[in-house]
Amino acid sequence: MALPNINPTETKSWKKLQEHFETISGVHMKSLFAEDEDRASKFTITWDDFYVDYSKNRITEETVKYLLELADEVKLKEAINSQFSGETINQTEGRSVLHMALRAPESADFKVDGVNVMPEIFDVKKKIEKFTNEVVNGHRTGYTGKRFTDIVNIGIGGSDLGPAMVVDALQYYKNHLTTHFVSNVDGDHVNEVIKKLNPETTLFVIVSKTFTTQETLSNANTIKSWFLKSADEAAIAEHFVAVSTNIANVKAFGIDENNIFPMWDWVGGRFSLWSAVGLSISLSVGYNNFENLLKGAHKMDEHFKNEDFSNNIPVVLALISVWYNNFFKAESEAVIPYSQYLNQFATYLQQGIMESNGKSVDRNGNPIDYQTGTIIWGEPGTNAQHAFFQLIHQGTKLIPADFIGFTKSLHNNKDHQDKLISNFLAQTEALLNGKTKEDVLAEGTADSLVPFKVFEGNKPTNTVFINKLSPESLGKLIAMYEHKIFVQGIIWNIFSYDQFGVELGKQLANKILHEFNNSADSVHDSSTQNLLNYYRGIS
C-alpha cells in the first residue's frame, strides 16, 4: 500500500494554522508564560528517563491543537502503521524502511514481502557478537598472532557518520581498542590514519551498503596495498572484514566469505548504525553496550508507534519544527548538546535530516510550492556559546534550537556539572526572555549603548533533559530524531528515503576524473573548463 498522498497546504488545519499564525506571530513568549502558570507543565512530556520541555516555543494550546489536526489530516497514524508493517514506503526505490526491526526483540514480527526478517537479523547479530568477543578477548588475532589493538572503519555517509558519532559519544564505555574512521577520498585522510597503524595489530572494517562507493573503495584499496607491503595475501582473511549488501563485489575485493556481515536494502544508509554497519561500535564498546544502544532505540520505537500524538516526543518535536519552517519561515534549526561526548551529533543528524527531507518534489512527482527540509547545524554547549550564540540571541534570523542535556555527568565532577547545567538552563531562559531596555538602563548602561545591549528574546527552544548518557539513552535519542524525520516527510508529502540528489555530482566527478588523463570529449561551462585546465596544467 502506498503512503497517503496529501498536499499539507490544502488541509483545513493548514489554513487554520495560517490564520492562527497571523494572530500569534507578534506575541512574545514572556506574555504566554505570564498568562498561564501551568504552561511549562502543560508543554512537557516525561517519558522513561527523558524530560522534554517544549514550553519555550511560540505556541499556545490552540497551535498544538491545529498541529495535531494536521497530523491527522495527512494520515500520520496510517503512515506509521505502513512503515512498521514493512510496506514499500520507499516507493521511488521500491523498498521497505525497517531499521526499527534491527533493534526489535527476536520475538517481533517484521515482514518484508511477507517474510519475517527477524531470523536473518538475529543470525547477523549473533555473528557480530561472536566476532566482537573474539577480537576484544584476543582470541582472534592478526597474522603474526598478536592481539588487535586498532580498528579502522572505512566507509562514508551512513557507513561512517553513525558509527563515528556513536563511538565518540560512548567513549566513556570503551574498551582497549583504538578506533579510527577513514571516509574522505582526500588521500591525506587515509594517510594520516595509516601513519598511526601497525599492520600486524589492525583490523579493517570496510562498510559500504552498495560496495560501489568511490571514496570507500579507493580508501580500502589504498589500505590493502599498504597492508600487503608487510603481509601476504593470505593475511587479508585475518585483517579485513566487510559489511555490505553486495556480496559479489566484496568477494571480488578479496574478502573471505566468513568475514562478510550482510545487511539489507530495507535499511537506509543513514539509518543503518543499528545493523552490522555498527560493527565498529560493537568492537569499541563491547557487544552488550551495542545491544543496550539497540534496546534504547527500540523503546523509542514503541513510544513513537503507540503513544498518543499529543504526548509523543518525536511527533510533537516534528510538528513544532513544521510550525517554524512553514509558518515562521525559519530556515535552519540548531542542535546544541550540552555534552562534549555529543561533539559529532549535529554532523550525524545533518545526513539523517538533510539527505532525507531535502526534497522539492511531492509524492505525485510535482514541484512543491512550500518549504521542506530544514538546515541542521550545531556544536556542543558551552563551546557554541562562545562561537555562534551571538547570532541566535541578537541576529536577524529566527533559529529554533534543541538543547540536549544530561542531569548526571559520567565522571561525577559536580563542580563542572553544575556549571555546565547552569549554562544549559541559562541559555534557554535568556533566549526566551531576552533583556528589555528598562533592564539595560537599570544596570547603569550609558544611553548611547542601550540599543546594543537589548535582547529581544522570544527565541524558541526545546529542552531534552536526559538522566545520563548511556548506550541506552543514546539509542533513544537517535531514534527520536529518526522518527521526527519520518513525521516531517509525511507532513511535507515527500519521499524521505531516497537520495537521488547526491548522484549528479558523482557522475560528473567520474567524467572529469576520466578527462584528467584523456582528451576531453565532453563540454563544460567555461568556468568549469578553465578550472579543469588550470588543474591539469599544474598537477
Q: Specify whether the backbone of 498 is left (phi greater than 0), alpha (psi in -120 to 50) or beta.
A: beta
CA 383 vs CA 114, 315, 337, 376: distances in Å: 50, 29, 10, 17
Give the shortest CB-163-to-ligand F6P separation in angstroms: 11
Nearer to ligand F6P, 138 or 187 (CB): 187
Q: How far apart are CA 96 and CA 268, in angstroms?
A: 9
Nearer to ligand F6P, 179 or 213 (CB): 213
End-to-end CA distance of the chain: 54
Q: Taking a C-beta distance cutoff of 8 angstroms, is the pair 66, 20 a contact? A: yes
Binding site for ligand F6P (CB under 6 A): 156-159, 208-210, 213, 216, 269-270, 355, 499, 502
Closest to 33 in 3D by CA, of 431, 450, 439: 431
Is 291 known to be catalytic? no
Give the shortest CB-502-to-ligand F6P separation in angstroms: 4
Nearer to ligand F6P, 244 or 326 (CB): 244
Nearer to ligand F6P, 157 or 434 (CB): 157
Give the shortest CB-213-to-ligand F6P separation in angstroms: 3
CA 485 vs CA 81, 174, 189, 357, 365: distances in Å: 16, 29, 31, 7, 20
Q: Taking a C-beta distance cutoff of 8 angstroms, is the pair 457, 392 a contact? A: no
CA 275 vs CA 86, 183, 272, 337, 402: distances in Å: 17, 19, 5, 25, 27
Name the CA radius of gyration of the chain, rounded: 25
All cell numbers assigned to 73: 489530516
120 C-beta neighbours (distance < 10 Å), count: 14
Nearer to ligand F6P, 105 or 187 (CB): 187
Give the shortest CB-92-to-ligand F6P separation in angstroms: 13
Give the shortest CB-205-to-ligand F6P separation in angstroms: 12
Is 524 known to be catalytic? no
Q: Taking a C-beta distance cutoff of 8 angstroms, is the pair 238, 141 a contact? A: yes
Q: How far apart are CA 273 and CA 281, in angstroms?
A: 8
Give the shortest CB-265-to-ligand F6P separation in angstroms: 10
Is 355 known to be catalytic? yes
Q: Residue 192: which H helix or E strand, with range?
A: helix 187-194
Nearer to ligand F6P, 158 or 434 (CB): 158
Q: Which residue out of 130, 386, 416, 511 is catalytically annotated? A: 386
Give the shortest CB-187-to-ligand F6P separation in angstroms: 18
CA 537 vs CA 147, 186, 270, 533: distances in Å: 48, 20, 39, 6
Nearer to ligand F6P, 249 or 423 (CB): 249
Q: How far apart are CA 46 and CA 63, in angstroms?
A: 20
DSSP string for 67-100 = HHHHHHHTTHHHHHHHHHTT---BTTTTB---GG
| DSSP-based three-state secondary structure for 313 | helix
Q: How far apart are CA 395 and CA 456, in angstroms?
A: 10
DSSP string for 199-257 = GGGEEEEEE-SSS--HHHHHHHHHHHHHHHTTS-GGGHHHHEEEEES-HHHHHHHT--G
Burial of residue 387, with CB atoms counted within 10 A of its CB: 0-12 exposed, 13-18 middle, 19 or more buried: exposed
Nearer to ligand F6P, 161 or 322 (CB): 161
Give the shortest CB-81-to-ligand F6P separation in angstroms: 26
Give the shortest CB-403-to-ligand F6P separation in angstroms: 28
Q: Which residue out of 12, 139, 196, 506 is catalytically annotated? A: 506
Nearer to ligand F6P, 350 or 467 (CB): 350
Active-site residues, by number, are: 355, 386, 506
